[in-house]
Structure 1
């Protein structure tokens, strides 16, 4: 039996009474999965309809998760009439799903039923909260900014054939209506008191100025024309150049200019001074919903806040052990700030050196994974630098591979100043964003035989929880033998624990932006700029940051339970196959799958 990771050791005391947001699915041994029954056929149809409706509402996210079928659309899911139509469809789907007799479904279909029921209920519950009145923010996944990042054709939407140039152009033609609808929505938000915090708007304005160009040829959206493949004929280049120029000049630039002017002259003055969602109309209920949706549990913001404080204290106790090994003899709480001030932990001069380090480290990690995983993705992993457009406000992140295999899984490193890049964080970050973190989980989810709504689905607590749990495996692989790299792992885990404190503090306890920034500076040793950037993210994405720690603690707890129950029969690769083999799903369903596996192994 391998040594248990820290997350598993600490999980039992924090998770013993965790209320889950979904009743655990039960296996139905009386029904065979071998032949599709009418109920299973109906379930598949409803799942396909749900996914299609979700993709119509937000086509960019389908592209992000590797589905190319919606690459011609942005959609107007933020428009009030489209929202009304969408939620009416969701209620119809729920009624039809409720009519399926679950007793006639096999085990695999029961899992799909429960996941679909959960997602439909969550979607319907979201209708009461007017997210569409705050349709943009400063983050890289804000739809216009994410769409602009696709223009280079190097990420989730390839642009290298005449058909793909046509797809991107069709999508570009929907941008101006989307931007104008966003302005209309935000004006309604001003009228009803549903507006973003001033700090978020101030951070967003420079991003949206970049969408406006002095001439079509300098536009971000002109990138496909600047990058024509040599195989294109002169006639193809001439026709596409004219079409792209016309769309940017006549529609995109004017709409982007209207949005930027609106943000500066109307929206910023009307933005709110408060930092948290709790200050909005129905804000407390809104944030409680955000927390439940992100964690897939019934934990209250108050309970999550307390878990965060306990985890911060636990991790800082670990600092007392690792600090002296790094040459630090001060109080444990000051280790992070001390490490951040040490020039020996900032060894890089160029961004290329950072990418080279990650590439080399990934080659060292690969052979160590064989002992831990029997289920592994086929898609390759690459390391790339975050594009300049979103570099200032982005965090390191991962994008899944394309279904056709043309695009690998990509770990995007955000490097603003390579001379300030902290080397201590790099091993744990690679494990989180790459293998065996997001790359394993999200690539496998695409490769598994799952319905589309599961193949391209996203359950935040599972996705981010798995990636944080994956970081802890570095200790078992001998990757944290150097004290500075183990400190980096602990410090990143400390951030995820501190997020529980500051996110709930901002949105449920009335903390100011300054209070939250000071907490991160004191707890994590961050500079004012780094802490401010992090807090602005949590202000823009209420609840999202809760998923990491809550999910990882649950997975660690389930591993500990399996080890105790199975003793010498416990297999870590088999446990990982159970957790990863069902794709993303609510934590209660993961728990049911693991307990079913334990019973079978016994």
Structure 2
């Protein structure tokens, strides 16, 4: 590979990590340990200019076609997010908001060298909120302020060291409370300046396809209808009824956890079972281990129900599947196994760790391509059934429950951001068509409002992985090897879906 090509990859990766330096620390990449995101307008525009320059050169480079596709996507993706100016109205307690995200990462990432950056970070976040024509949703202002109030009332955290950071967080909370918000009836991007065009660009970014919001909305409606047939089939075996509303009612009120320790035990057993049979389905296995842990107590109020943290490159930290035990006894145990397969094995742990352990350039190992990353996670939920991993039909109902959530996301994300749905319309749709509880629906809807388009990536990515797999199996017939297919998908790292199609097509040439 020529120096100029390597330089283009290096430039892109440098820009990616400058955009999110805490990620570099999380995976053990040196050079960013003393930095936090630059949220200022000037900083964003300077980074945008760097990325635009990269884009002006990528098409004429002699870069490998897949490298070129990844470089182009990463540059365009960050530009899309900068232009959407989400930082100016993203304030809720979830990890998407800059300040809440900082608090969520602080206990997970080494902050010792970047504590001096926190006051600047807080000031920039406040300045963007105070100097914009975009308004956050009113309930998110209250939610973000309450999260900060809990932090300020908590005992001093280990990550704070000797730094006096809390006055800065207190000032930021006051800024939040001074903002004028927008009502729940105007939850989506389409109610904000340039909202429709920003959402269309975010849809292209997160799905890496040309799907329109209207097409994705209809796709979600169609998938939800088909899932009801599967609910009836499995529900008849579990409870002797094909009445879908009754199956939903029982899933919401029965099969709940007795205590949080049972939740942890079930996840550990599911991961171990998946690891035992993985060699039959994957030729290449991750070297790093995957541990299952509870979310740290301080973070449980705002953390998602489950998530995965990458293993450190130097082996100092394994991959970690985090479970949030908050409210365990009112949550369905049917989601235990499907979530473990998605987040840990053979889901994100396999995907992220195997890519990190390859000889690919870092721009390929660590590309932020949600349609691939989350598409693989969702793909493995159904793959787990092929692998014989679900212990019962009850757990298969959990698989359907998460399928319905992801199909419902296509409907409500596009509904709010493109079609002008109110927040309550989105809540009502998920209540009628999924088995999520009211608190889970509230959490999900607020997430979709704050990260427009991201929720679309899961199902779009899963369907595309299945499509290219089916086409490969048809072309190869008896020569199709599922282990080799999975190795091909994972060993190339995150790629746009069109690039994945090209890779699989080259692997299975037509006779």
What is the deviation of 1:65? 4.4
SS at match of 2:292: strand
Q: How does 1:429-578 map to 2 (within 5 A)?
A: 429-480=339-390, 482-578=392-488
Q: How does 1:419-434 map to 2 (within 5 A)?
A: 419-434=329-344
- Counterpart of 2:13? 51
SS at match of 2:135: coil
Q: How does 1:277-296 map to 2 (within 5 A)?
A: 277-296=189-208
Greater relative contact order (Cα < 8 A, sep 6+): 1
What is the deviation of 1:126? 4.3
The answer to whether the 8 A contact 1:62-1:456 is kept is no
The answer to whether the 8 A contact 1:475-1:481 is kept is no
Which residue of 269, 287, 296 corresponds with 1:378? 287
Provide the C-alpha distance between the structure 2 equivalents of 1:296 and 1:479, rounded to a whole number of angstroms: 31
- Counterpart of 2:42? 81
SS at match of 2:409: helix
SS at match of 1:411: strand
Q: Deviations over 1:502-536 (max 9, x none)?
A: 11111111111111111111111333222111111
The answer to whether the 8 A contact 2:141-2:181 is kept is no
SS at match of 1:254: helix
Q: Does residue 353 of the first structure (1) align with residue 293 of the second (2)? A: no
The answer to whether the 8 A contact 2:92-2:100 is kept is no
- Counterpart of 1:25? none
- Counterpart of 2:308? 398
The answer to whether the 8 A contact 1:277-1:542 is kept is yes
What is the deviation of 1:328? 4.5
The answer to whether the 8 A contact 1:499-1:545 is kept is yes
Q: Does residue 338 of the first structure (1) align with residue 250 of the second (2)? A: yes
What is the deviation of 1:135? 5.2
Stretches of structure 1 that go unaligned for 5 or more consecutive residues are: 1-35, 159-167, 226-243
Which residue of 83, 90, 111 corresponds with 1:128? 83
Which residue of 107, 119, 129 corresponds with 1:176? 119
- Counterpart of 1:27? none
Q: Which segment is superposed worse, 134-143 or 371-380?
A: 134-143
1:253–1:90: structure 2 CA closer, same or farther, 3 Å change rule? same
Stretches of structure 2 that go unaligned for 5 or more consecutive residues are: none
1:149–1:393: structure 2 CA closer, same or farther, 3 Å change rule? closer
The answer to whether the 8 A contact 1:401-1:409 is kept is yes
- Counterpart of 2:139? 199
Provide the C-alpha distance between the structure 2 equivalents of 1:144 and 1:581, rounded to a whole number of angstroms: 35
Provide the C-alpha distance between the structure 2 equivalents of 1:509 and 1:65, rounded to a whole number of angstroms: 39
Q: Which segment is superposed worse, 473-482 or 398-407?
A: 473-482
Q: Deviations over 1:402-424 (max 9, x none)?
A: 01101111111122122123111
Aligned residues: 509
TM-score (norm 1): 0.81
Which residue of 18, 27, 31 corresponds with 1:69? 31
Provide the C-alpha distance between the structure 1 equivalents of 2:296 and 2:96, rounded to a whole number of angstroms: 13
SS at match of 1:382: strand
TM-score (norm 2): 0.95
Which residue of 217, 221, 230 corresponds with 1:318? 230
- Counterpart of 1:297? 209
Which residue of 111, 117, 127 corresponds with 2:72? 117
What is the deviation of 1:348? 2.2
Which residue of 137, 146, 152 corresponds with 1:212? 152
The answer to whether the 8 A contact 2:94-2:302 is kept is yes
- Counterpart of 1:308? 220
Q: Deviations over 1:518-562 (max 9, x none)?
A: 111111133322211111111111111101100000001111111
Q: Does residue 254 of the first structure (1) align with residue 167 of the second (2)? A: yes
1:138–1:347: structure 2 CA closer, same or farther, 3 Å change rule? closer
Which residue of 161, 177, 181 corresponds with 1:270? 181
Higher Rg: 1
